[in-house]
Amino acid sequence: MSLPPESLVQQFAERFPRAVDTAPASDAGTGGSAAPMQPPPTCQVVDFKRRGVHVEAAVTAELVVVVARWLDENGYALDTVTGVDWLVSNEMEVVYDFFHPAAFWRVAVRVRLPRAAPGLPTISPVFPGANWHERETHEFFGIVFQGHPDLSPLLLPEDADYHPLRKDYRP
């Protein structure tokens, strides 16, 4: 089963009610350190030619696992998981990228977390490929993936207790 972007947004609205915005996204995207936190969950179709994704969703930390399971049921594959440190607005962002191996849609799911204690549940039981991506995001940003089997550093030395992709990291 592979839904076109519009139906995916529709289904998202039915599955995760509350603020849903189906209006086309502004080309500026969701970045910008001064941008206020959006009231999640939202899901919208964006211009692929400008952004490289078809659907962008923003959800709360509690919803991450159900959203991942929903995309899993729809036949999506995990592309990557990564973080962005928004130092000025005192937030951490986790970005999950998905692609559909047969229908070729691209979906990005974003979660904003408080910078002081960034934590959210792991999706590695749903997508085992997330195991390494989450380990990497943990070592580089200090974001804790609750329930992850092993959050020891993957690419950094095994005793690394620093998070080099944080914007306030000084070697």
| Interacting residue ranges for another protein, rule: CB under 8 A | 27-33, 48-53, 75-80, 82, 84-85, 95, 97, 99, 101-102, 104, 106, 108, 127-129, 131-132, 140, 153-157, 164-165
Find out whether the peptide bond into 153 is cis, omega within 30 degrees of 0.
Answer: no
Q: Which is nearer to another protein, 20 or 165 (CB)?
A: 165
Distance of CA 27 to the CA centre of its chain: 19
Q: Tell me how far apart the alpha carbons of residues 42 and 170 are, in angstroms, rounded to a whole number.
A: 35
Distance of closest approach, residue 1 Cβ to another protein, in angstroms: 13
Structure tokens at 129: 């490929």
Question: Kindly report the CA angle at 162 between 156 and 163, in degrees rounded to 5?
Answer: 80
Distance of closest approach, residue 163 Cβ to another protein, in angstroms: 11
Q: Which is nearer to another protein, 14 or 161 (CB)?
A: 161
Structure tokens at 42: 């939202």
Cβ atoms 148, 135 nearer than 8 A: yes
Q: Which is nearer to another protein, 13 or 77 (CB)?
A: 77
Distance of closest approach, residue 17 Cβ to another protein, in angstroms: 27
Q: Which is nearer to another protein, 13 or 75 (CB)?
A: 75
Q: Which is nearer to another protein, 81 or 144 (CB)?
A: 81
DSSP letters, 45-91, are E--HHHHS-SEEEEE-GGGHHHHHHHHHHTT-EEEEEEEEEETTTTE
Distance of closest approach, residue 31 Cβ to another protein, in angstroms: 5
Distance of closest approach, residue 106 Cβ to another protein, in angstroms: 7
